[in-house]
Structure 1
């Protein structure tokens, strides 16, 4: 069987996290992704750090399965090469600064004037128009503007999330936009111009908190590991650590106090019989649960909770996540190549029953430049000339662009 996007070509002028995540998802689904990078240094994420055998962790995470062409978009020759590649592609995706694609002659209107079937996806920080259109938009800044920081952390301290949530949200919506636009094009023959904003994507994820604010007039409080409208829902002490317990309904409460703690009389205590009552008496409820959990080891409590069907989890450090028994049992790790070494990569969450996702290698900067210059229509002499002038860069570890 073939992957869903085999035969689809995507050209991306992308950097950092959001757009590369979108196109990596497409590459995993079988699309050919041509990544356009700067001659000097390439994607900024290559040098955020060098922790993966000399390659940046962000870059390894976000760029497997792509072909890299390193070319100077400030030059007429460089822009012409990219334009010709886009003219043969199905999708063009970019997250340049607002207006930059248009100044390069790569705006949606110019590209689709001759090819209305092209799908163009523009990813920006704050969207087209409005007073913030030209503002710089890093993940942390968007988290703040979207209100995510205001509900994340403890009552004493606001924090950003530990992962780039705004980048991930907008990247996922970009990938979804490409799939939806391609589906419509296959039915109608017409492409699309799609705009995705990091701010819009992140505020969309604020769902329940936004509705709470809108309909109560009250800012949802920062709850740490707890939950503003559910109890008990927090980390509780054990004899040798902590355990997260999240009782989301009254049946779960009865299972917790009856099957796990062996104090079934608490099930009908008027302070705790319903979730609303438990939230109203949260301090008393949490203290009662903590008194019980502290009598057991983490392993003992975990086993009891699992047996009773009460939602719970151990708080795992990342070393235990890498070796997570659920990942091991389901064979979720694969080996891929980077420019310096083989590394493990996690299979994407989308699992087809008849074909495995394309787990391609992580390209070196300009690894496929020469092949893509030829593909754009340049002859051998012109390719040599453009590389010699420094308009394009070819990595020493040249490998022909993969065919699909």
Structure 2
């Protein structure tokens, strides 16, 4: 059995996000039917197509044929999930299809608007690069010139899919309680918020941080370095413990003693200190070969790794050991090597079973049987689809706590289980700890473990981010917890997953970016480029949320929990899936360069006289787009790239956008974060929430992450102080007041107060 066995998914979307949603559901056993139209899919020649459409059937539906629409209506009547692309509704397919959706009370309708619900900032539907430009991500990327930078892979589209699939499964879990489906809306802007949880945690009065600081980011010891032998490596020395260790190991105590630092290593990242500290550390690293540096840094426990190419990573030991390489026999392409399943459910695992089907491969199949009418069930209105479910989150730093916050956003009661001294990254992780309640426990003691066991008896999910083996050492591993609560689902996140020689190594986003080929492919022949967003952390947070909910959904069917795990390494491979597809004749994946604007004249960023814009032609062929541009007079008869660059550079931004729109070429303004934060439409849609610092000044945070028609959680979330809810949590676990007091006195637990509300120093 797979986790979603018996779930019927009808995919009516195009592009990337929608197909990857149904791919993820199909990977775990859902019966997925992709609806192909009479015209070829514009993405069908893309290597990623072979991955995005695996584990599916294909039926062609011609909207002009009444019999096709009858079949579609009947299939909607029997579906559990319908996936709709940008701006689409079931009514687009006609009255009978719309009515079938309304009559199916169990149906979860997943809508994926390209930008925000009810508004398109550009023509042409979903676009990773136009979304990144208009929503501030492209201008937030560190660079040489300070202009917008295009990404190598469509990261936002993949995160959009990942988070949307998570929300769909959350709705299916809620349906196990209420018996009813609902409409779930996850927009492109929601994917931006999910990826930029820390970047949008900022003061609206502050100017945009300078980005013309080079391609290695804004932290002196959490970045890539060139060694004496001309080889690159990445260091993950983030946080006072690791930063101080690195400085002392390199003989750089003078940095700590400098009055500008004053022993507080976080001050190294301040704008006034960044340049001189970075130069000192770079010079020290440049005296050693990469092998010498790796040996030194590994000996003091700091995450580090070599710079690899995508090919080295995909062919290497880590990907093999965690099952992230799969091969299928494709009828059109032959043997296809592609990324495997990025998350592991040990009892009901996913699998790559079938290749992408040719369009219409399953024409003539009967529609699913219609769902039985519901006997007038009263609607259930609760704050979030996961209301009533409890999660224990033991994660620290960013990725695992953020998964807890995402579950809180979906309505779960999430308990942040911290050490007595608190999460060591609390000061820098204000934004990702929101919505949880905190209890501080000394898990190294038998008494502390017994307290945790009491909590686990009433929990649905337990999440951790400890290296393999640590949970067993603390007697809080799956075997122990499931003996107390057979229904519990445990989810473990690590850097390199389980199995293989890397399993016990520490790892962080910056190092995984280097090892997985993200940096080298983005930089090309220039220096390797680090993503300013902690891309592997934020995507793994969503991946962990999806993983735990798949386990919970299956538990709702079987009554039995299971152990699950995932890794930063698997996520990094998933985020490059369209460039890790190998078959005979497959194109060589593109590489970028520093200040990369895009790989094609019709898919890139351009500078106008007073700002930047992006162009992304993908819904029709390039020849048509070029013809339209020449007919409009925007470019002449010469080279297209040169003509577009020169023409746009001579025009005011508004004029250039207007002329591109008249030519029917999808385009959008590229905006800085400050402008995005002040967008009235985004504020009205609760993309951002305004909060007060303790000093009375205000700051911005990410707001709503999804829309649920019947179970919407509302209002801003705040992070807890360390142990702020210890007393209340222990009381609800059945401890008496005297037992609680004794646990506090014996330092088994810690009871603290609210968190200080203040913005941290940004490290990215």
When the two structures are superposed, what TM-score results if normalisation uses the length of structure 2?
A: 0.45
Distance 1:168 1:334 in 2: 19
Deviations 1:23-53, CA, capped at 9 Å, x for gaps = 211111110000001211x1222123xxxxx
Residues in 1 aligned to 2:694 and 2:416: alpha-carbon distance in whole angstroms: 16
Aligned pair partner of 1:370 in 713, 716, 727: 727
Query: Which segment is superposed worse, 327-336 or 120-129?
Result: 327-336
Q: 1:226: Cα distance to partner?
A: 3.8
The answer to whether residue 413 in structure 2 is matched with residue 32 in structure 1 is yes
Show the 5 A alignment for 1:43-54.
43-48=423-428
The one of 485, 499, 505 equivalent to 1:129 is: 499
Secondary structure at the counterpart of residue 531 of structure 2: coil
Change (3 A) 1:262 1:216: closer
2:646 aligned with 1:291, yes or no? yes
Distance 1:237 1:160, change over 3 A: same
**Paired residues of 1:338 and 1:364 also in contact (CA < 8 A):** no
Aligned to 1:179: 549
SS at match of 2:430: helix
Displacement of 1:193: 1.2
1:147 alignment counterpart: 517
SS state of the match for residue 614, structure 2?
strand
8 Å contact kept, 2:389–2:412: yes
Q: Does 1:163 align with 2:527?
A: no
Give the Cα separation in 2 of the matches to 1:386 and 1:4: 34
**Is the contact between residue 12 and residue 34 of structure 1 (CA under 8 Å) also seen in structure 2?**
yes
Given candidates 666, 677, 700, the residue that maps to 1:322 is 677
Residues 1:116 and 2:486 aligned together: yes
3-state SS of 2:752 partner: coil
Rounded Cα–Cα distance in structure 2 between residues aligned with 1:315 and 1:152: 20
Q: Offset of 1:69 from its aligned partner?
A: 0.6
- Equivalent residue in structure 2 for 1:225, among 596, 610, 614: 596
The offset of 1:204, in angstroms, is 1.2
Answering whether residue 554 of structure 2 is matched by residue 198 of structure 1, we say no
Distance (Å, rounded) in 1 between the aligned partners of 2:407 and 2:671: 30
1:374 shift after superposition: 2.2
Unmatched tracts of structure 1, length 5 or more: 49-57, 270-283, 399-404
Q: In structure 1, how many angstroms separate the alpha carbons of the residues matched to 2:630 and 2:684? A: 32
Question: Post-superposition shift, 1:247?
Answer: 2.8
- How much does 1:356 deviate? 3.0
Contact persistence 2:403–2:541 (CA under 8 A): yes
* Separation in 2, partners of 1:199, 1:184: 25
Q: What does 1:197-276 correspond to in 2, within 5 Å?
A: 197-211=567-581, 218=588, 220-223=590-593, 224-228=595-599, 230-248=600-618, 249-250=621-622, 251-259=624-632, 261-263=633-635, 266=637
Q: Which runs of structure 2 are paired with 1:54-93 in the superposition (5 Å)?
A: 58-60=429-431, 62-93=432-463
Unaligned runs of 5+ in 2: 1-380, 756-764
- Choose from 85, 103, 107 the match for 2:477: 107
| CA apart distance, 1:137 | 0.8
Task: Give the superposition deviation at 1:243.
Answer: 2.2
Which whole-Å CA distance do the structure 1 matches of 2:453 and 2:692 have between them? 29
Larger displacement relative to structure 2 (30-39 or 247-256): 247-256
Q: Secondary structure at the match of 2:631?
A: helix
Q: CA deviation at 1:367?
A: 0.8
* Residues 45-98 of structure 1, C-alpha deviations (whole Å, 9 max, x = no match): 2123xxxxxxxxx322x1211100112111222111111101110011110122
CA distance in 2, matches of 1:9, 1:125: 25
What's the counterpart of residue 18 of structure 1?
399
Is the CA contact 1:5–1:29 (under 8 Å) kept in the aligned structure 2? yes
Partner residue in 1 for 2:38: none
For structure 1, which segment, 305-314 or 358-367, has the greater mean C-alpha deviation from structure 2 after superposition? Answer: 305-314
Q: 2 CA distance for matches of 1:244 and 1:366? A: 47
* Preserved CA contact (<8 Å) 1:337 1:362: no
Report the TM-score when normalising by structure 1: 0.83
User: Given the alignment of the two structures, is residue 313 of structure 1 paired with residue 693 of structure 2, yes or no?
Assistant: no
Q: What does residue 276 of structure 1 align with?
A: none
Say which SS state the counterpart of residue 152 (structure 1) adopts: helix
Q: 1:180, CA displacement in angstroms?
A: 1.4
**Secondary structure of 1:23's aligned partner:** helix
- What is the rounded CA distance, in whole Å, between the counterparts of 1:171 and 1:32 in structure 2? 17
Which 10-residue stretch deviates more, 100-109 or 340-349? 340-349
- Once residues 334 and 47 of structure 1 are traced to their aligned partners in structure 2, the CA distance between those partners, rounded to angstroms, is 20
The Cα offsets for residues 265-301 of structure 1, whole Å up to 9 and x where unpaired, read as: 75xx8xxxxxxxxxxxxxx432111121122011221
**Using a 3 Å threshold, how does the CA distance of structure 1 residues 340 and 380 change in structure 2: closer, same or farther?**
farther
Could you say which structure has the higher helix fraction?
A: 1
Cα contact 1:12–1:23 (8 A) shared by 2: yes
Match of 1:387 among 740, 744, 749: 744
Q: Distance in 2 between matches of 1:262 and 1:147?
A: 38
In 2, the alpha carbon distance for the partners of 1:122 and 1:11 equals: 12
Cα RMSD, aligned residues only = 2.6
When structure 1 is superposed on structure 2, of 166-175 and 333-342 the one drifting more is 333-342
1:237 shift after superposition: 2.6
Aligned to 2:462, the other structure's residue is in SS state strand
- Give 2:388's aligned residue: 7
Instruction: For residue 455 of structure 2, give the secondary structure of its aligned residue in structure 1.
Output: helix
Please name the residue that 1:401 is paired with. Answer: none
